[in-house]
Amino acid sequence: MNNLDKYNQVFCETFSVNSDVLGTNFSNDTIENWDSVLQLSLVTSIEDAFDVMFEPEEIMDFKSYEKGKVILLKYDVII
């Protein structure tokens, strides 16, 4: 499984969606049930999947599918 597949799988499992809805519009502004529980669940799962640990500001900033890719790049994880 490549990084994009792993990344998508976490989003699909966290938000119970199909991968075809993931993209530039997938964010806490557009997803109704993206609350604090799912945000922390998402971050926890991403950290586990890529063996990283985010800084507090990165956790708070992880509010969209695209933003997550930028944050992971800081850890040399290319999606």
Partner 1 sequence: MLVSRFKGFKIGALSVAVPSHKIQISDFYESFGKDLVDKFSEMAGVKQIAHTSLKQTASDLGFIAAEKVFESGKAKREDIGVLVFVSQKPDFRIPATSFVLQKRLGLGENVICQDINLACSGFIFGLQTSLSILSNLKGKKALLITADTSYKTMSPQDRTMFMLFGDSGSAVVLEKDDLNREQIFELAFRTNGDKFKSIITPAGAFRNRNLKPIDEVWSDDIVRNDYNTHMKGMAVFEFSITDVPKLINDFYKYTNTDASSYDNFILHQANLYILKQLSRKCKIPFEKIPLSIDRFGNNSSNSIPLVLSDHFSNADNKTLRLLISGFGAGLSWACGAINIDTQNILPIFISDDFFIE
Q: Cα separation of 48 and 66, whole Å?
A: 19
CB of 41 to partner 1, least distance (A): 4
Q: Name the token pair of 23.
A: 């993209």
Phi first, then psi: give them for residue 52, nearest 5 degrees. -130, 165
Least distance (Å) between residue 17 CB and partner 1: 12
| 30/43 Cα distance (integer angstroms) | 18
For partner 1, the closer of residues 4 and 60 by Cβ is: 60
Nearest to 65 by CA among 2, 16, 10, 47: 10
Contact residues: partner 1, CB under 8 A = 14, 16, 32-33, 35-41, 43-44, 53, 56, 59-60
Nearer to partner 1, 43 or 72 (CB): 43
CB of 47 vs partner 1, minimal distance in Å: 9
